[in-house]
Amino acid sequence: MKRIINTVNAPAALGPYSQAIEVNGTLYVSGQIPFVPATMTLVSECVEEQTKQSLENIGAILKEAGYDFKDVVKATVFIKDMNDFTKINGVYEKYLGDVKPARACVEVARLPKDVKVEIEVIAVK
């Protein structure tokens, strides 16, 4: 059975997609950009702050679905500039360091709303 996850504690979808979908004990969280949910505005130009906000948004979706960061098995990090890799990792490790899920990190030409980072995860119960 498929369950759609939606919370006001994470930014509303910018297009025709769900914040997350749960199927058979697996949660697929859509890419989260660093928007503040209450205002739907960019948190800051600082890549560390953007990474933190993206992860806070993921945390809110995980919580709404009854999951936690410890349940994350796969993460994909999309970044605008690979030179920010170390800065992003520093923040990422604070949220997922002990969990150490499988991960891909790729530099992309452009992200929605011209943010510097977008992160998606898969979590399993």
Residues with catalytic function: 105
Helix (H, G, I), strand (E, B) or coil at 25: coil
The Cα-based distances of 18 to 58, 106, 116 in angstroms read 13, 23, 22
Question: Three-state DSSP class for 36?
Answer: strand
Strand 102-107 with 72-79, pairing = parallel
98: tokens are 């002990």
Are 53 and 61 spatial neighbours (Cβ–Cβ below 8 Å)?
no
